[in-house]
């Protein structure tokens, strides 16, 4: 969440106002109106601006997420300077904070819940049990027997994922939570569903809704918790390690009065903070000042902000070249596309920064690339950042498939792995969902015997491995391939795809789902499991033929994401470029990449026609 308003009043001095005025433009970027004190702003989009030098520094009520740190480090070789400014404390009598709170209808008798009840409402498998009915929370007989309908943010929301990991641990979100993207619409559900409950940012005001107090013990009033979130300034740092001077001056101005409650109250009001700002602890303040003082500043008059290009789209570089940011494995393909385009448009110049798919989404959100070439779908956090800034989803043009295997060269695309001794012939997608998630129709599958294995295998538990559900590839897989259900409590998260393969290699009763990996280079004790779209379809491996025919359930597309507002036409350049990629000549370039590491595969005719139609 990002706080801010388009207007501000001096709170420290005129120099401070000049220093922070540019940053506050970032602060209001997620919400053009920013009228209400409780306006919700888009932190992911602001990080994208910082990442690509559109702004020198930003304010966030959180550190950068892992999904934000990875592309930032790829682009810059280091992270921004992140300096804590103040602590963010909850409202009176609330001890569970972190930016989120529960809301009920105004006439709901519930006034407070305990920390354990809060966790039981939001997640499965908590020590205190799951809270799914109003009888567990209120004494009024009229509410007994009524289930709680929970409305919350989309599962891929980056801030929500970071908060969920801290507040709920490894426990999966409660099955059946209704995802509503827009916070105001989420709160409005309470006027339509008086028996509902909403999870949203703390401190909001909405007609017909009331925030529930969260206490250590729901039966008594509690003092505010001493533990709190932190307001950070994230400052751009040049390649030589020197920080942006405007950002440094801004942070220095705040820290100079960081123990003054009136100054922090003014800052909270200007930033439309939904919670009170209080000083850092003495030790924290000393550490923040040391951190700032230890970082050299750039010369006055210079900045980490990228120089403005010529008049026109923001993706035009200063020398007039079109700047393209995207997946590094597509470098050769894009160079071939560019060369093909130049045959008909010799006056066009291209400049590319291909650092990985994690950089493409932020670049598109920041407006510094005309399209984001990706070897995978955008992660939910990237989509959330884009949607928060523009109010719509990017246009997704699929131009081919990426990956086939197993093969002697190159990585195998996303797949399911079992131990080589496992006799299972294959899985249907419905069975896979029942293994990896909870609450699917037909019940959970947790023993190998439920899949038809006999003898010593029949009564053995299935050990499930995968990556963390943190807004990255595991979250995308859950939303796209597993129908959005929460991962089972038996799902053991591991740091890397290599760790997942190693876990399965060491566990005959294990099964792992992961993304791109050369598993054979890690262990010969695993094999890729054939998968079937449905019970009446054959289980297949991700061979070239099956991928090209669209038969492999985990096939990963090559995407070109474009910022096109619904109902408007593509720019002439973007349309002509994508028409070329989808032409026979463009598809031939993709087919020629078959034996490269990415193992690219052109689209079949039917899908190709559908993607071409999207350009109109």
| Residue pLDDT, tens place only, 454-513 | 999 999 999 999 998 776 788 878 888 888 787 888 899 898 999 999 999 999 999 999
Closest CA to 110 of 179, 190, 27: 190
**pLDDT tens digits for 56-70?**
999 887 888 877 888
Query: Are 529 and 431 contained in the same domain?
Result: yes
**Is residue 456 a contact partner of residue 565, using CB atoms and an 8 Å limit?**
no
Query: Are 568 and 519 contained in the same domain?
Result: no
The C-alpha atoms of residue 425 and residue 431 are separated, in whole angstroms, by 13
DSSP 177-220: PEE-SSHHHHHHHHHH-TTEEEEEETT---TTEEEEEEESSTTS
SS (H, E, C) 501-563: HHHHHCCCCEEEEECCECHHHHCCCEEECCEECCCCCCCECCCHHHHHCCCCCCCEEEEEEEC
77: tokens are 């070789």
In a domain, 299, yes or no: no
In a domain, 548, yes or no: no
Average pLDDT, stretch 536-555?
93
In a domain, 302, yes or no: no
**Is residue 501 a contact partner of residue 512, using CB atoms and an 8 Å limit?**
yes
Average pLDDT, stretch 33-58?
68
Average pLDDT, stretch 279-290?
89
Residue 521: per-residue pLDDT = 79
Boundary (domain end) residue, out of 158, 186, 215? 215
Query: Are 274 and 330 contained in the same domain?
Result: no
Give the residue numbers spanning the domain of 474: 415-541
Residue 413: per-residue pLDDT = 85
Residue 37 has pLDDT above 50, yes or no: no
Query: Are 434 and 526 contained in the same domain?
Result: yes
Query: Are 238 and 188 contained in the same domain?
Result: no
Sign of CA dihedral 331, 336, 341, 346: positive
Query: Are 521 and 561 contained in the same domain?
Result: no
The C-alpha atoms of residue 226 and residue 93 are separated, in whole angstroms, by 12
In a domain, 1, yes or no: no
Residue 319: per-residue pLDDT = 85
- Lowest mean pLDDT across 190-194, 309-313, 477-481: 309-313
**To 10 degrees, the CA torsion angle through 223, 225, 226, 231?**
-130
Using CB atoms within 10 Å of the CB of residue 283, give its burial: 0 to 12 exposed, 13 to 18 middle, 19+ buried. exposed
Boundary (domain end) residue, out of 180, 215, 250? 215
The C-alpha atoms of residue 424 and residue 51 are separated, in whole angstroms, by 46
Q: How far is CA 186 from CA 112, 178, 205, 345, 393, in A?
A: 20, 9, 12, 48, 19
Which pLDDT band, with edges at 50, 70 and 90, does 181 fall under?
confident
Higher pLDDT among residues 510 and 224, named by residue: 510
The C-alpha atoms of residue 410 and residue 372 are separated, in whole angstroms, by 23
Query: Are 331 and 438 contained in the same domain?
Result: no
Boundary (domain end) residue, out of 187, 215, 243? 215
Strands (E), 4-154: 57-60, 81-89, 100-105, 112-114, 149-152
**Is residue 512 a contact partner of residue 415, using CB atoms and an 8 Å limit?**
no
Residue 221: per-residue pLDDT = 41
Higher pLDDT among residues 137 and 339, named by residue: 339
> Residue 483 has what DSSP assignment?
T
Helices 331-344 + 584-591 axis angle, to 10: 150
Query: Are 145 and 205 contained in the same domain?
Result: yes
In a domain, 222, yes or no: no
Residue 36: per-residue pLDDT = 23
Average pLDDT, stretch 583-590?
97
The C-alpha atoms of residue 70 and residue 340 are separated, in whole angstroms, by 32
**Is residue 17 a contact partner of residue 10, using CB atoms and an 8 Å limit?**
yes
**pLDDT tens digits for 419-461?**
999 999 999 999 999 999 987 888 999 999 999 999 999 999 9
The C-alpha atoms of residue 441 and residue 89 are separated, in whole angstroms, by 42
Q: Tell me, what CATH number does 132's domain have?
A: 3.40.190.10
The C-alpha atoms of residue 82 and residue 589 are separated, in whole angstroms, by 43
Residue 291: per-residue pLDDT = 92
Residue 421: per-residue pLDDT = 97
241: tokens are 């390690």
- Lowest mean pLDDT across 163-172, 175-184, 335-344: 163-172
Residue 216: per-residue pLDDT = 59
The C-alpha atoms of residue 294 and residue 288 are separated, in whole angstroms, by 10
Higher pLDDT among residues 204 and 45, named by residue: 45
Residue 313, CA atoms < 13 Å, CB-side half-sphere: 19
pLDDT above 90 as % of the chain: 44
**pLDDT tens digits for 62-106?**
888 877 888 999 999 999 999 999 887 654 333 344 567 889 998
Query: Are 488 and 509 contained in the same domain?
Result: yes
pTM over 0.85: no
Sequence-ordered alpha helix ranges (H) in 391-472:
429-436
Number of domains in the chain: 4
Which pLDDT band, with edges at 50, 70 and 90, does 220 fall under?
very low
- Lowest mean pLDDT across 104-118, 272-286, 493-507, 564-578: 272-286
Q: Is 96 helix (H, G, I), strand (E, B) or coil?
A: coil
**In DSSP terms, which residues pair with 202 in a beta bridge?**
none
In a domain, 459, yes or no: yes
Summary mean pLDDT of the chain: 83
The C-alpha atoms of residue 332 and residue 503 are separated, in whole angstroms, by 34
Residues listed for the chain: 616
In a domain, 312, yes or no: no
Residue 273: per-residue pLDDT = 57
Which pLDDT band, with edges at 50, 70 and 90, does 166 fall under?
low
Residue 91: per-residue pLDDT = 47
Query: Are 106 and 156 contained in the same domain?
Result: yes
Task: List Cβ neighbours of 35 (8 Å cut-off, separation of 6 or more).
Answer: none
Residue 9: per-residue pLDDT = 30
In a domain, 496, yes or no: yes
Query: Are 462 and 567 contained in the same domain?
Result: no
Helices 380-390 + 66-76 axis angle, to 10: 90
Residue 45 has pLDDT above 60, yes or no: yes
**pLDDT tens digits for 334-363?**
999 999 999 999 999 999 999 988 999 999
Average pLDDT, stretch 156-168?
69
Query: Are 112 and 79 contained in the same domain?
Result: no
The C-alpha atoms of residue 152 and residue 200 are separated, in whole angstroms, by 7
């Amino acid at each position: 969440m990002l706080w801010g308003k388009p207007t501000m009043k001096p709170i420290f001095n005129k120099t401070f106002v000049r220093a922070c005025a540019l940053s506050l433009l970032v602060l209001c970027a997620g919400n053009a109106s920013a009228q209400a004190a409780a306006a919700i702003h888009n932190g992911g989009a602001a990080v994208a601006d910082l990442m690509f030098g559109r702004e020198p520094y930003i304010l966030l009520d959180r550190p950068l997420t892992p999904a934000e740190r990875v592309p930032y480090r790829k682009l810059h070789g280091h992270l921004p300077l992140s300096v804590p400014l103040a602590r963010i404390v909850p409202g009176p009598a609330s001890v569970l904070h972190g930016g989120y709170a529960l809301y009920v209808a105004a006439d709901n008798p519930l006034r407070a819940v305990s920390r354990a009840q809060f966790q039981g409402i939001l997640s499965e498998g908590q020590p205190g049990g799951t809270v799914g009915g109003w009888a567990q929370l209120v004494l009024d007989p009229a509410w007994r027997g009524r289930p709680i309908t929970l409305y919350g943010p989309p599962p891929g929301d980056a801030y929500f994922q970071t908060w969920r990991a801290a507040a709920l641990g490894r426990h999966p979100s409660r099955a059946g939570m209704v995802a509503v993207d827009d916070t105001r619409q989420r709160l409005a559900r309470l006027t339509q569903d008086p028996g509902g409950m909403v999870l949203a940012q703390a401190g909001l005001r909405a007609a017909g809704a009331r925030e529930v107090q969260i206490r250590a013990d729901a039966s008594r009033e509690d003092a505010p918790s001493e533990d709190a979130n932190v307001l950070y300034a994230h400052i751009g740092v040049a390649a030589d390690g020197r920080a942006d001077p405007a950002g440094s001056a801004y942070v220095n101005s705040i820290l100079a009065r960081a123990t003054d409650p009136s100054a922090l109250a003014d800052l909270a009001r200007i930033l439309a903070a939904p919670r009170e700002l209080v000083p850092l602890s003495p030790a924290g303040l000393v550490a923040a000042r040391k951190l700032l003082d230890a970082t050299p500043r750039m010369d006055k008059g210079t900045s980490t902000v990228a120089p403005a290009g010529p008049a026109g789209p923001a993706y035009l570089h200063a020398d007039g070249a079109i700047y393209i940011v995207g997946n590094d494995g597509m470098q050769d393909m894009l160079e071939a596309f560019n060369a093909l385009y130049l045959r008909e448009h010799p006056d066009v110049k291209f400049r590319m920064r291909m650092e990985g798919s994690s950089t493409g989404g932020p670049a598109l959100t920041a407006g510094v690339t005309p399209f984001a070439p990706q070897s995978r779908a955008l992660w939910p956090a990237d989509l959330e950042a884009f949607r928060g800034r523009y109010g719509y989803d990017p246009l997704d043009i699929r131009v081919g498939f990426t990956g086939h295997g197993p093969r002697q060269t190159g990585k195998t695309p996303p797949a399911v792995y079992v131990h080589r001794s496992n006799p299972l012939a294959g899985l249907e997608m419905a069975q896979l969902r029942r293994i990896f998630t909870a609450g699917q129709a037909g019940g959970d599958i947790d023993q190998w015997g439920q899949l038809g294995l006999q003898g010593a295998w029949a009564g053995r538990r299935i050990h499930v491995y995968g990556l963390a559900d943190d807004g990255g590839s595991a979250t995308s897989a859950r939303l796209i391939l597993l129908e959005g259900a929460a991962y089972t409590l038996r799902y053991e998260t591991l740091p890397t795809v290599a760790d997942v393969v190693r876990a399965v290699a060491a566990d005959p009763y294990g099964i792992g789902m992961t993304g791109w990996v050369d598993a054979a280079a890690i262990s010969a004790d695993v094999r890729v499991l054939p998968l079937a779209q449905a019970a009446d379809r054959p289980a297949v491996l991700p061979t070239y033929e099956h991928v090209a025919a669209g038969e492999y359930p985990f096939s990963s597309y090559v995407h070109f994401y474009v910022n096109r507002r619904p109902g408007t036409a593509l720019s002439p350049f973007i349309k002509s470029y994508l028409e070329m990629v989808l032409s026979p000549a463009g598809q031939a370039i993709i087919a020629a990449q078959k034996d490269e590491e990415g193992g690219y595969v052109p689209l079949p005719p039917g899908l190709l026609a559908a993607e071409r139609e999207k350009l109109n």
